[in-house]
């Protein structure tokens, strides 16, 4: 019997697809699509990510989805994109999360937004609070980058996408080569090559430094691409030194240097380091926590900060459009009932689908 994780039984009052009105498609990730939805009873708006079960099985990504759900169900923070509900039907797994309409930082970089030091400093503070919280929950995110930082309409930063996050308990170290290469800390490559002692929470703070540099300058401090071999990257970190812009304040350069320290033992890698730094001595942290510090960059109100082609794709190209789901599932049911189940074309696929159905954890944060 296949199993993907902890078992949960659905209760009659569990939230499901019918409790939401689909408003529009806004994007797609590596193996899921995202749309804006409104919960019918409360009229609250959310983002809903949905992942096709069969595709997840074919790409061997079911465990990743379960892992992400397991993590998201246990955490909640003002600077994270929080999970509110998870549920499933025959075709898809659904995650309903905070709706953030300010777009991600990659989108704004592509729109050539000139981020000021003041703006980037606030992002560093907000992300420092998020990362410190994750550390308290034993979580390494492993994919901090502009694509995974979403802004709300006021311009505050929120970390999303726990697809490759990992949980490490007391004194454990992570060893997997996981992340997006240009943002991955040197010790991840080092550990992979030499089988050393592994790595820990410090890797997320390196990624934060790379991202902060990129926001300020428009390009990253190291010329690293996904196809660079690991050996060459280990060499790179020991030979190339980061060039800081002369236009930046001494304080900002000092802060970036501390985040981009190759040796993790000497790197800024917790909230206490950040709070004690001369560069951020004027920050009123209670105000940051309460979102009382006004961001200098506020996304344009009334503009949806995403690629408009997603909506078209969902309507025209999508073979299983969401708005026709009810009709389709009813049709499938009658087809299934008329088919001799012993003539199943793909037993393994069927077994996997049944395992997902059984192991998927239904979640409702309101309860």
Binding site residue list for ATP: 49
**How many whole angstroms separate alpha carbon 331 and alpha carbon 266?**
61
Phi/psi at 89 (5° precision): -135, -165
Q: How far is CA 43 from CA 39, 152, 160, 343, 362, in A?
A: 5, 19, 23, 45, 21
**How many whole angstroms separate alpha carbon 278 and alpha carbon 298?**
27
Catalytic option among 143, 152, 161, 204: 143
- 347 classed as catalytic: no
Annotated binding site: 49
Question: What is the spatial order of strands in the sheet that 83-88 belongs to?
Answer: 20-28, 33-39, 45-52, 92-97, 83-88, 363-364
Q: Are 356 and 364 in contact (CB under 8 A)?
A: no
For residue 38, the Cα-to-chain-centroid distance in whole angstroms is 22
3-state secondary structure of 297: coil
Which single residue is written with the structure tokens 């800081």?
244
Do the strands 149-151 and 92-97 form a parallel or antiparallel pair, or are they unpaired? unpaired
Dihedral in degrees, nearest 10, Cα atoms 176, 181, 185, 190: 60
Q: Which residues are catalytic?
A: 143
């Amino acid at each position: 019997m296949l199993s993907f994780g902890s078992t949960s039984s659905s209760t009659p009052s569990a939230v499901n697809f019918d409790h939401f009105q689909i408003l529009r498609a806004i994007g797609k990730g590596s193996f899921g699509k995202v749309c804006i939805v409104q919960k019918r009873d409360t009229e609250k708006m959310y983002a809903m990510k949905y992942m096709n079960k069969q595709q997840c099985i074919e790409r061997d990504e079911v465990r990743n989805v379960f892992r992400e759900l397991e993590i998201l169900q246990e955490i909640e923070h003002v600077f994270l994109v929080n999970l509110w509900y998870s549920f499933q039907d025959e075709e898809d797994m659904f995650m309903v999360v905070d709706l953030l309409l300010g777009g991600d930082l990659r989108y704004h970089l592509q729109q050539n937004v000139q981020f000021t030091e003041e703006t980037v400093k606030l992002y560093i503070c907000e992300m420092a609070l998020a990362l410190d919280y994750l550390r308290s929950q034993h979580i390494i995110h492993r994919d901090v980058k502009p694509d995974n930082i979403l802004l709300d309409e006021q311009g505050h930063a929120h970390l999303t996408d726990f697809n490759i996050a990992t949980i490490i308990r007391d004194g454990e170290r992570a060893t997997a080569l996981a992340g997006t290469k240009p943002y991955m800390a040197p010790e991840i490559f080092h550990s992979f090559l030499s089988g050393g002692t592994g790595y820990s929470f410090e890797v997320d703070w390196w990624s934060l430094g790379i991202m902060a540099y990129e926001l300020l300058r428009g390009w990253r401090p190291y010329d690293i691409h996904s196809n660079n071999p690991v050996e060459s990257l280990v060499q790179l970190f020991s030979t190339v030194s980061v060039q800081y812009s002369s236009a930046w304040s001494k304080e900002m350069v000092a802060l970036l240097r501390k985040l981009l320290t190759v040796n993790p033992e000497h790197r800024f890698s917790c909230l206490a380091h950040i709070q004690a730094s001369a560069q951020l001595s004027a920050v009123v942290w209670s105000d940051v926590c309460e979102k009382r510090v006004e961001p200098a960059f506020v996304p344009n109100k009334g503009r949806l900060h995403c690629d408009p082609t997603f909506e078209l794709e969902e309507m025209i190209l999508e073979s299983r459009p969401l708005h026709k789901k009810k009709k389709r599932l009813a049709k499938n049911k009658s087809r299934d009932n008329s088919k001799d189940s012993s003539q199943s074309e793909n037993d393994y696929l069927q077994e996997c689908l049944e395992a997902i159905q059984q192991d998927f954890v239904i979640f409702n944060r309101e309860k």
